[in-house]
């Protein structure tokens, strides 16, 4: 019992509870809202969450949050306009989505920064990966979700390749929560049949998009920090 209680202290529970904010925030731009300017209300609330996260973030996380905004917008355009994987309620990418990506990523990052959670996850890494494996197998066999099967294979390749990146396991649960919330509220919907793939709404494999984005972001961040160090040495 103590081993279960230990990682979930008051600070951790507050950070996890922070994720609950997304349901009322997304509601204003949802299919259930009758507010004409709902998208702008969601934008203002999302911006407020961004500022809140940014102020208490480490320098590294601040840089990542700034970089996520333009990169995620480009990724959204590719996913919706070019690939047609999913679509938003009003047809175009809402203004709050790129900022929202930064807040969601920061939320997962902040939870993982808690040493108690990090140690708890790392100690049970294989068990958590086993749960993920069962989920991916279930959606393939029960829902014939071939897209998630491919994305799941990529996810496990990343987890095996980067054994010290247990944060991906936290990101996965945070992304699933957000995807279920957004699709249930009707903010966006995934195409069930695309090219040779079939999927669900939302697909379990959507986790891989964030994991792949994290890998790209950290590579870009290392380049930025390397350039910054060289400039300092030159002065």
Helix%, strand%, coil% for the chain, nearest 5? 75, 5, 20
Once rounded to an integer, what is the mean pLDDT over residues 3-24?
A: 74
Under 8 Å between Cβ of 156 and 129: yes
How many domains in the chain? 1
Q: What value does the mean pLDDT take over residues 16-20?
A: 84
112 in Cβ contact with 167 (< 8 Å): yes
Q: Is residue 161 over pLDDT 90?
A: no
What pLDDT does residue 3 have?
Answer: 44
Residue 96: burial class (beta carbons within 10 Å; 0-12, 13-18, 19+): buried
The secondary structure of residue 80, as a DSSP letter, is I
Question: 228 versus 105: which is more confidently predicted?
Answer: 105
**What is the residue whose two structure tokens read 């996810």?**
155
Q: Which residues contact 46 (CB under 8 A, 6 or more apart)?
A: 25, 96, 99, 100, 103
The alpha carbon of 58 is separated from its chain's Cα centroid by a whole number of angstroms, namely 19
User: Any idea which of 9-13, 23-27, 39-43, 50-54 has the lowest mean pLDDT?
Assistant: 9-13
Closest CA to 199 of 128, 136, 146: 146
Quick check: helix, strand or coil at residue 86? strand
CB distance 30 to 90 below 8 Å:
no
Nearest-Å Rg of the Cα atoms of the chain is 18
Which range (53-57, 81-85, 191-195) has the least confidence? 191-195
DSSP state of 91: S
Q: What is the mean pLDDT of the chain?
A: 88
Phi then psi for residue 77, to 5 deg, are: -65, -40
pLDDT in tens, 188-222: 999 998 778 899 999 999 988 888 888 888 888 88
- For residue 183, count other CB atoms closer than 10 A to its CB: 18
Q: Write out the two tokens for 42.
A: 């969601």
94 has a pLDDT exceeding 90: yes
Is the pLDDT at 158 greater than 90? The verdict is: no
Closest CA to 87 of 186, 181, 176, 177: 186
**Domain membership of residue 219 as a residue range:** 2-234
pLDDT value at residue 1: 43
Q: What is the pLDDT of residues 121-144, one digit of tens each?
A: 888 888 998 999 999 999 999 999
pLDDT in the model for residue 178? 93
């Amino acid at each position: 019992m103590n081993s279960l209680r230990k990682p979930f202290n008051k600070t951790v529970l507050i950070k996890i509870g922070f994720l609950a904010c997304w349901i009322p925030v997304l509601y204003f731009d949802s299919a259930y809202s009758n507010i004409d300017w709902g998208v702008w209300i969601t934008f203002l609330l999302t911006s407020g969450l961004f500022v809140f996260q940014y102020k208490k973030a480490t320098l590294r996380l601040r840089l990542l949050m700034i970089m996520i905004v333009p990169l995620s917008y480009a990724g959204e355009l590719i996913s919706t306009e070019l690939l047609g994987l999913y679509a938003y309620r009003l047809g175009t990418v809402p203004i709050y989505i790129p900022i929202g990506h930064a807040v969601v990523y920061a939320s997962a990052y902040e939870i993982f920064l808690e040493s108690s959670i990090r140690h708890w996850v790392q100690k049970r890494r294989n068990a958590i990966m086993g749960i993920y494996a069962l989920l991916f197998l279930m959606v393939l066999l029960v829902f014939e979700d071939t897209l998630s099967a491919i994305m799941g294979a990529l996810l496990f390749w990343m987890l095996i390749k980067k054994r010290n990146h247990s944060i991906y396991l936290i990101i996965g649960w945070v992304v699933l929560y957000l995807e279920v919330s957004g699709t249930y509220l009707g903010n966006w919907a995934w195409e069930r049949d695309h090219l040779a793939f079939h999927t669900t709404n939302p697909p379990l494999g959507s986790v891989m998009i964030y994991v792949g984005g994290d890998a790209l972001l950290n590579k870009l961040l290392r380049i930025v920090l390397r350039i910054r160090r060289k400039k300092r040495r030159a002065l």
